[in-house]
Amino acid sequence: MSNVLIIGAGGVGGVVTHKCAQVPEVFSEICLASRTLERCERIKAQLSRPIRTAKVDADKPAEVVALIKDFRPAVVINVALPYQDLPIMDACLETGVDYLDTANYEPPNEAKFCYKWQWDYQDRFKQAGIMALLGCGFDPGVTNIFCAHAQKRHFDDIHTIDIVDCNAGDHGHPFATNFNPEINIREVTQRGKYYENGQWIEIDPMSVKMSFDYPGVGPKDSYLLYHEELESLAKNIKGVRRIRFWMTFGQEYLTHLRVLQNVGMTRIDPVEFEGHQIVPLKFLKALLPDPSSLGVGYKGKTCIGCVVEGIKDGKPKKYFVYNICDHAECYKEVKAQAVSYTTGVPAMIGAMMMLTGKWRGKGVFNVEEFDPAPFMEKLNQHGLPWIETNL
């Protein structure tokens, strides 16, 4: 039994807190911390067991250090903004506490996803005798584990991986993002990129699409994006020749996004307005619905998985492993929509893997570097059952 500190009280933070609270034999005491204490208190009121809440500015390592020293967690689950990964890692280093996140570091002034900043902590975490587990959400996270499972159980050689992500839900708003608007819009408006034959190939944003028949949903147009798990999978899945990431977007979303881009509202550089410096995308974020508020009345399903091709026993093989998640069922359980649920549940399971000794190491790790079997088992037990089939 161990204390866990959860930093971030948005939609994902709420799911992580609910799911940790369901496993008291692993998470004996829970502290939920955020810059906005009211968010923490709102989540606390939904739970059937007591937790502690705290106000903390995750941009300031000294504040996080003070909270860690006071609460004494065995692991910090970081579901704050990607900009805050490094300050929280610094606080964990100073206090000798294990670290877990769901998204890699991204500098505030540049839309760039790159693991190098966090991988550079390898020696410091190793010397401190502590562990950092990176990207333990769904994508990245479960998709990486699906690939490790395919490599271990289903293939002698993996040639190609296509990660496919569909949200076929309807939240009733003309335009809203299912996770932090600032991060979401930066992600989909940057140049696309994929890995092939040892090289990274860049494309214009949203310039390549395909139709994919998603189980439980049906055929949907899916657009090629760059996503951070491609970087670690290219490094850790031996012999892979090509890795791509695809995501669905409705035409209404794409139309809104195109208009916002055209008028400059997706810019991340400051502009002068009435004597003040403002970042247009931050202003837009303040106008859009809070993703944690979208769960009420959200209908439909998500389907996320990995299509893997390669060789098994000398014969070509094409394999698909995936999860289907229902928005309404998620809200019924934890007061959140499925996009938050599919990210928050794996974060809890990853922390469980660390605290129970199933996954241990000194240094900085991506999830596919560990045995996928115990994680895959827990997915089935904690609300994200997976299905696998040959295509």
| pLDDT tens string 324-374 | 999 999 999 999 999 999 999 999 999 999 999 999 999 999 999 999 999
- Rounded to an integer, the average pLDDT of 70-85 is 96
Q: Which residues, 6+ apart, have CB-to-CB distance to 285 below 8 Å?
A: 180, 181, 182
Fold classification of 2-137+342-377 (topology level): Rossmann fold (3.40.50)
CA–CA distance, 53 with 74 (Å, rounded to integer): 17
Q: What confidence tens digit (pLDDT) does each residue in 278-323 have?
A: 888 788 878 887 776 776 778 899 999 999 999 999 999 999 999 9
- Rounded to an integer, the average pLDDT of 76-83 is 94
Start-end ranges of CATH 3.30.360.10 in the chain? 142-336+386-390
CA–CA distance, 121 with 91 (Å, rounded to integer): 12
Start-end ranges of CATH 3.40.50.720 in the chain? 2-137+342-377
Report field, pTM of the whole predicted structure over 0.85: yes
Alpha helices in 29-141 (DSSP H): 37-44, 61-71, 85-95, 116-119, 122-128
Helix axes 181-189, 251-262, angle to 10 degrees: 90
User: What pLDDT does 179 receive?
Assistant: 61
CA–CA distance, 6 with 13 (Å, rounded to integer): 7
Backbone angles phi, psi at 377, to 5 degrees: -65, -45
Please check the confidence at residue 221 and state whether its pLDDT lies above 90.
Answer: yes
Q: What percent of the chain has pLDDT over 70?
A: 97
The enclosing H or E element of 254 equals helix 251-262
User: What pLDDT does 227 receive?
Assistant: 93
Which amino acid appears at position 360 of this protein? Answer: R
Fold classification of 142-336+386-390 (topology level): Dihydrodipicolinate Reductase; domain 2 (3.30.360)
